[in-house]
Amino acid sequence: MRFGVLLIIAIVLSFSAKGQINTDQVVASGLQSFDEDDYVMAMQYFNLAIQSKPNQAAPYLYRAIAKFNLEDFAGAEKDASHAIELNPFLKDVFEVRGAIRHKLGKYNEAIDDYSEALEVLPQNKYLLYNLAMLYETKGSKDESNATF
């Protein structure tokens, strides 16, 4: 972990010397940290990308996923919602925010998000299963059965 923090500092210093941060490379490094299940390090990379270019939706989406994996559901929901504000056409965010809201017990909002994601991915079995489970949790057995 300490090596990772030093690596981030070195990246910041090297980019600061050049005057510009390559956010694509920083995000790619964050995604590499995802592959290693190092969500804290991934968040540090995404924070750096957000700091450099706060109007890009993808780093907020990825940071939301990292927060979700660290069980910071409120922070994850905030980041996912902000990503949607920045780019409502990034449909993956709706799937992520639906999962977050499901964990938070915000079932109606989660259903809305999953439904939005299903407009683009109508055959996604994960989305359909989660939507059916939400209907079941809410006591809407007919809707749950129809979704299954």
pLDDT at 4 over 90: no
DSSP code of residue 44: H
- Report the pLDDT value the prediction gives residue 27, as an integer from 0 to 100: 92
Give me 55's structure tokens. 């109007």
Work out the pLDDT band at 122, boundaries 50, 70, 90.
confident
Q: Is the pTM of this model over 0.85?
A: no
**Separation CA 113–CA 118 (nearest Å):** 9
Residue with the bigger pLDDT between 10 and 33: it is 33
Residue whose structure tokens are 């709706």: 94
CB 97 within 8 A of CB 113: yes
Q: What contacts 76, CB < 8 A, 6 or more positions away? A: 64, 65, 67, 68, 96, 100
Q: How far apart are CA 80 and CA 74, in angstroms?
A: 10
Percent above pLDDT 90 for the chain: 61
Instruction: Give the 3-state secondary structure of residue 19.
Output: coil
Q: Is the pLDDT of residue 19 over 50?
A: no
Quote the pLDDT of residue 18.
Answer: 44
More confident residue, 119 or 21: 119
Average pLDDT in the chain: 87
